[in-house]
Amino acid sequence: MCDKKEASKRYTGKNILAPMVRIGTLPSRLLALKYGADLAYCEELIDFRFAECHRVENPILGTVDFLQDKDSRPMFQTCSEERDKVVLQIGTADAQRALQVAKLVENDVSGIDVNMGCPKEYSTKGGMGAALLRNPEKVKEILTTLVKGVSIPVTCKIRLLPKLEETIELVKLIESTGVVAIGVHGRLKEERPRHPVHSNMIKKIAETVSIPVIANGGSDDIIKQYKDIERFKQLTGASSVMIARSAQWNMSVFRKEGLLSTDDVVKDYLKYAIKYNNHFINCKFCIQEILRDKQESPMGKQLRSSSSLREICCIWGMEEEYDAAEKRRNELRVKLGLVDDKSLEPDAKRIKRSDIVEMNFQIKRCEYDLKKNKTPKTILYEYTLKEELKPPFYTTECRSTDRHFQSIVTVNGKKYKTTSWERNKKLAEQSAAIVCLRTLGIDDGRMAPIDRKVPSQSTTRPKFVKLSSTT
């Protein structure tokens, strides 16, 4: 168990980068810390997936990677630069599994947080996220198991319940488990970011408990730049402030000296992305969030059509930095005997690898209307017509061991594929088309369930509604 008094100090008077799916990866966290954040939470990691990971030290990047299998991208990646400042957030509904995950990362992170605020159905239907707010017994079990079982500080992040008294009751229960601090997102489960944050409710909570309260929910309305953080702190009476959206849009919100321009922030972000060879799709997403309403600017359009990290670096004139980092990594690979140097000399291998955009996902038939004329393949075909490009060209491989298929689609000289294998050729081609569309930032026609009220016993299939490609 950790020294609670000492640990609580680490959550007092601090400015913290909030957990954010897809945003909270290594380059963003390092950027927040560079600009002045005291702690940085990673994106939420779901316990049963994370429990399958292996810890691997990556000598090329100098990182610690948690991998599901040896060829996959890390589910969580960290490094010594953030060792004392990174907090791992878990999505869980099971105390023992949460402990298993916490033990796995205990020596590589500075704290563990349990997400009790996620309102999304994928989280709540498994009893995780905001579902925990209505399950105090489970909350107690998870938090006490973690507090007893790991040597680093444990915290949790909640939303408000409709009545102040019930929120206070929950918060007192949480305090009694021995957590060192509590994050409070000042909105109800049903409220969206556009709804005003209930600073007064956070204040009531802060007055009730003796552990530090980390106020969250002030982006946009209240916090736009560094000097606003203090105002939110005063409004909520909290010890610390946690920032999500304002940081996602401009990480220099943590900078005492004030905001930096979008270009400066993107360039600083890219330095970390290059250093840690961050995944291209993740970089693209994070930079699109920074560009925000500049998506239609010349740089925004170039970003949309980029298909590798190097191409993104070119947009901001950083290709030399990228090439130098790649060269250093390749030399290190050779030095460590991880690759034969002949394969690197003609550059061919490198080009071949970065030439194909790969995504790791499996197409779900129910999410796409594959019978009508708005399939990903048709959307892609229409796109090539509109842009006056050659029609998409598909090549498909069949794996002899299980007769599964994988396709590569070529559009405008670039190749796109998934890492997964499909049961038939048609699905494999649709998957490749989806990778291409998503990379180009075009809506791939994916649908999502709208009928949240389908009774659990019902055999009726939920209806589906069209989603934008970024959701």
d(CA 363, CA 360): 10
Our CB check for ligand FNR shows the closer of 115 and 308 to be 115
In the complex, least distance from residue 45 CB atom to ligand FNR, rounded to whole angstroms = 9
Q: Of the two residues 248 and 406, which places its CB atom closer to ligand FNR in the complex?
A: 248
Residue 240 Cβ, how far from ligand FNR at the closest point, in Å? 13
Catalytic residue check, 118: yes
- Is 20 near ligand FNR (CB under 6 A)? yes
Say whether residue 18 binds ligand FNR (CB under 6 A): yes
**Which of 37, 182, 184, 243 is close enough to bind ligand FNR by CB under 6 A?**
243
Instruction: Out of 30, 39, 44, 273, name the contact with ligand FNR by CB under 6 A.
Output: 44
Strand-pair partners of 155:
113, 181
Q: How far is the CB of 326 from ligand FNR (least distance, A)?
A: 29
Q: Is 216 in the site for ligand FNR (CB under 6 A)?
A: yes
Shorter beta-carbon distance to ligand FNR: residue 250 or 308: 250
The count of chain residues that interact with ligand FNR, using the rule CB under 6 A, is 23
- Does 228 interact with ligand FNR (rule: CB under 6 A)? no
- Residue owning tokens 């069949």: 398
Binding status of residue 21 toward ligand FNR by CB under 6 A = yes
Judged by CB under 6 A, the stretch of 27-35, 217-225, 277-285, 373-381 that binds ligand FNR is 217-225
Q: Are 2 and 151 contacting, i.e. CB atoms less than 8 angstroms apart? A: yes
Q: In terms of CB distance, is 216 or 430 closer to ligand FNR? A: 216
Q: Which of 85, 138, 203, 245 binds ligand FNR (CB under 6 A)?
A: 245
Least distance in angstroms from the C-beta of 20 to ligand FNR = 4
Q: Of 60 and 235, which CB lies nearer to ligand FNR in the complex structure?
A: 235
Which of 29, 43, 76, 252 lies at the binding interface for ligand FNR (CB under 6 A)? 43
CA distance between the termini of the chain? 39
115 part of the interface to ligand FNR, by CB under 6 A: yes
- CA dist 323 and 32 (Å) reads 25
Q: Torsions phi, psi of 149, nearest 5?
A: -90, -15
CA distance 341 to 146: 47
Q: Decide whether 18 or 67 has the Cβ nearer to ligand FNR.
A: 18
Query: Mind spelling out the 3-state secondary structure of the chain?
Result: CCCHHHHHHCCCCCEEECCCCCCCCHHHHHHHHHHCCCEEECCCEEHHHHCCCEEEEECCCCEEEEECCCCCCCCEEEEHHHCCCEEEEEECCCHHHHHHHHHHHCCCCCEEEEEECCCCHHHHCCCCHHHHHHCHHHHHHHHHHHHHHCCCCEEEEEEECCCHHHHHHHHHHHHHCCCCEEEEEEEECCCCCCCCCCHHHHHHHHHHCCCCEEEECCECCCECCHHHHHHHHHHHCCCEEEECHHHHHCHHHHCCCCCCCHHHHHHHHHHHHHHCCCCHHHHHHHHHHHHHHHCCCHHHHHHHHCCCHHHHHHHCCCHHHHHHHHHHHHHHHHHCCCCCHHHCCCCHHHHHHHHEEEECCCCCHHHCCCCCCCCHHHHHHHHHHHCCCCCCEEEEEEECCCCEEEEEEEECCEEEEECCCECCHHHHHHHHHHHHHHHHCCCCCCEEECCCCCCCCCCCCCCEEECCCCC
The answer to whether 14 contacts ligand FNR (rule: CB under 6 A) is no
Nearer to ligand FNR, 89 or 375 (CB): 89
When asked if residue 217 is in the footprint of ligand FNR (CB under 6 A), the reply is yes
- Block residue for tokens 């298909």: 307
Q: Name the minimum Å distance from CB 90 to ligand FNR.
A: 10
In this structure, are strands 15-17 and 39-41 parallel, antiparallel, or unpaired?
A: parallel
CB of 118 to ligand FNR, least distance (A): 6
Which of the ranges 114-122, 249-257, 280-288, 334-342 carries the binding residues for ligand FNR, by CB under 6 A?
Answer: 114-122
101 lines the binding site for ligand FNR (CB under 6 A) = no
Residues 342-381 that bind ligand FNR (CB under 6 A): none
Q: What are phi and psi of 243, to 5 degrees?
A: -120, 130
Rule CB under 6 A: is residue 111 a binding residue for ligand FNR?
A: no
Residue among 42, 118, 156, 286 flagged as catalytic? 118
- Give the residue with the Cβ less far from ligand FNR, 187 or 417: 187
- Site membership for ligand FNR, residue 185 (CB under 6 A): yes
Task: Determine the residue type at 18.
Answer: A
Judged by CB under 6 A, does residue 284 bind ligand FNR?
Answer: no
Q: Is 153 in the site for ligand FNR (CB under 6 A)?
A: no
Q: Is residue 174 part of the contact set for ligand FNR (CB under 6 A)?
A: no
Asked if 89 is part of the footprint of ligand FNR (rule: CB under 6 A), the reply reads: yes
Q: Spell out, one character per residue from 187 to 206, where the chain touches ligand FNR: x when CB under 6 A holds, - when not.
A: ------x-------------
- Of 97 and 414, CB closest to ligand FNR: 97
Beta bridge partners, 88, equal 112
Question: For binding to ligand FNR (CB under 6 A), which residues are involved?
Answer: 18-21, 23, 43-44, 89, 115, 117-118, 157, 185, 193, 216-219, 243-246, 248
Q: Catalytic residue numbers?
A: 118
